[in-house]
């Protein structure tokens, strides 16, 4: 088994009217600690055209998305012993200069159960 560290799994990213059929349903990428690396990774994705603006859509705020990727990676690394998984779904990337919105977030603690035997949730900030 090979260990690659902390990864982001993109599930059905861009699967809206503008992105339908452009991106694969699943993509696993290593987390980068520098924004420049995250921007480079985004530019190299198969669906990078979505972020550049297609079918009349404006270019997306890739700087904000790359910033989230870096902060999320740092957060996950800082709490790696405590976190089993982090799910941000969906992450909306607004037009360039307008940022991103995380609509829903779930952080599951490692080896920690609530009163009902389910994985306990952990609060935190990506700011």
Does 1 reside within a domain?
Answer: no
Q: How far apart, in whole angstroms, are the C-alpha atoms of residue 58 and residue 38?
A: 20
pTM of the model: 0.73
Domain assignment present for residue 78? The answer is yes
Instruction: Round to whole Å and give the CA distance between 94 and 33.
Output: 23
Task: Give the SS3 label for residue 57.
Answer: coil
User: For residue 41, is it within any domain?
Assistant: yes
Number of compact structural domains in the chain = 1
Can you give the CATH number for the domain in which 104 is found? 3.30.470.20
User: β-strand 105-113 against 83-88: which pairing, if any?
Assistant: antiparallel
- pLDDT, one tens digit per residue, over 41-58 is 888 877 788 889 888 889
| Assigned domain for 25 exists | yes
Asked if 67 contacts 35 with a C-beta cutoff of 8 angstroms, the reply is yes
pLDDT digits (tens, 9 = 90+) for 62-102: 999 999 988 988 888 888 888 888 888 888 999 999 999 99
Query: Is 52 part of a structural domain of the chain?
Result: yes
Domain holding 41, by residue range, is 7-121
């Amino acid at each position: 088994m090979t260990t690659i560290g902390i990864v982001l799994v993109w599930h059905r990213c861009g699967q809206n009217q503008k992105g339908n059929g452009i991106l694969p349903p699943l993509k696993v990428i290593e987390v980068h600690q520098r924004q420049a690396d995250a921007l480079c990774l985004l530019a190299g994705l198969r669906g990078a055209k979505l972020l550049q603006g297609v079918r009349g859509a404006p270019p997306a705020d890739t700087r904000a998305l790359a910033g989230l990727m870096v902060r999320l990676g740092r957060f996950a690394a800082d709490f790696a012993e405590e976190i089993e998984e982090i799910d941000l779904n969906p992450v909306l990337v607004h037009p360039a200069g307008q940022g991103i919105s995380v609509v829903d977030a779930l952080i599951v603690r490692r080896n920690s159960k609530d009163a009902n035997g389910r994985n306990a949730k952990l609060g935190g900030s990506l700011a």
